[in-house]
Chain A
Amino acid sequence: MTNEAIQATITELLPSATFDEGGEWLVVNVAPEEWKQLALHLRNDPTLSMDYLYCVTCVDWKTHLSMVYHLSSTIFRHTIVVKSKLDAAEPVIDTVSDIWQTANFNEREAYEMFGVQFRNHPDLRLLILPDGWEGKRPMLKDFEDPVNMIRL
């Protein structure tokens, strides 16, 4: 499917979605409340069939956080990127680990590094950080190293 065709299909499924074009992949911007609904459509729509979630990332933009999902279809070999802006003070978004099992660990990583709360996640606890980690989430821009900190 071409990027234009994917864009048309997604607009039909979710009219409030906006798009960034110009890159190799189509970027879909979606509100966090609508993400779960869109994700189900992307996975189950027979023309899209996004059965492979291969990257879950979070970005700290200081004003807000941004979740980034890279989705691909192993049947049609097309790829899209879904981005969702989160509130920096209270970052909450629905989990998609029930749709793509791989999101389970990826969301745990975003949780421990950025403090994003994934609603309805079955096992939201630290993944790599040692148990009993105290203090701020280390990948946030305002994280302070307790040992050696310099500010630029």
Chain B
Amino acid sequence: MNDTSNNAELKASPFGGGLEGAADSLQASFPGQIHETPGGGIVLSKLDDVINWARSNSLWPLTFATSCCGIEMMAVASAKYDFSRFGFEVARASPRQADVIIIAGTIVNKMAPVLKRLYDQMADPKYVIAMGACAISGGPFFYNTYSVVKGADHVIPVDVYVAGCPPRPEALLHALMSLQEKIKSGLTREQIQEPKPSAAGDQLHQI
């Protein structure tokens, strides 16, 4: 390596390029900086970044669909679009084993408590995608309806919204990858929320 590339190495950002060749592709996916040493190299990184990188590449969605968006979600899971290519390996039928809930469809007043309970049952860290017009705002049921929740974010916090009625499979793939970017940069709802006081702390406070 010559002097120029050594300078670039020092300027490399956690997520960006700055290095060329084989090191560049590693740099784009794995957070950190590579320091070349004789006989190999050393990667310097932050543990938080590595954890976020690992989490973002293995997100299991919950099998949860309430209307026609669910059909598009199934299409994204199937061979033609195949979200397991991006780490959405396998849809789980239990919230205990799922990392991300894709709200695919209309949430009616009677479904809202069920959605809240499913979200509460998911293990941390958990992420939420609102898929389609109904999940974003109630969509075609925004006006003059007696039964529809006007946006799933009235019930649970949402990380990524994807527009469409229903969205194309490519749009959902883009939303899933946007969620990965968001996790890697540490900006999901869960990552930026205020730390909750622990139960033990509460008890001490009461005493």
Contacts and interface: CB of A to CB of B under 8 A. Distances in A.
A143 interface: yes
Contact of B143 (A138, A143, A150): A150
Given A130-B109, A130-B110, A138 B147 contact: yes
B144 A150 contact: yes
A145 B141 CA distance: 11
Interface in B94-136: 109-110
Given A130-B109, A130-B110, A148 B142 contact: yes
A149 B144 contact: yes
Instruction: Give me the 7 closest cross-chain CB pairs, A-B, nearest first.
Output: A138-B146, A145-B144, A150-B143, A148-B143, A148-B142, A145-B145, A149-B144
A89 interface: no
Given A138-B147, A145-B145, A150-B143, 12 more contacts: A130-B109, A130-B110, A143-B144, A145-B143, A145-B146, A147-B150, A148-B138, A148-B142, A148-B144, A148-B150, A149-B143, A149-B144
Contacts of A150: 143-144
Interface residues of B, number: 10
A144 B138 CA distance: 17
Interface of A: 130, 138, 143-145, 147-150
A130 B175 CA distance: 35
Interface of B: 109-110, 138, 142-147, 150
A148 B149 CA distance: 11
17 contacts: A130-B109, A138-B146, A138-B147, A143-B144, A143-B146, A144-B144, A145-B143, A145-B144, A145-B145, A145-B146, A148-B138, A148-B142, A148-B143, A148-B144, A148-B150, A149-B143, A150-B144
**Residue among B142, B146, B147, B150 with the most chain A CB within 10 A?**
B146
A148 B150 CA distance: 9
A147 B147 CA distance: 11
Contacts of B143: 145, 148-150
**Residue among B143, B144, B147 with the most chain A CB within 10 A?**
B144
Nearest to B149: A147
Nearest to B145: A145
A143 B144 CA distance: 8
Contacts of A145: 143-146
A83 to B, nearest CB: 26
**Residue among B109, B143, B150 with the most chain A CB within 10 A?**
B143
Nearest to B138: A148
A112 B159 CA distance: 38
Contacts of A130: 109-110
A149 to B, nearest CB: 6
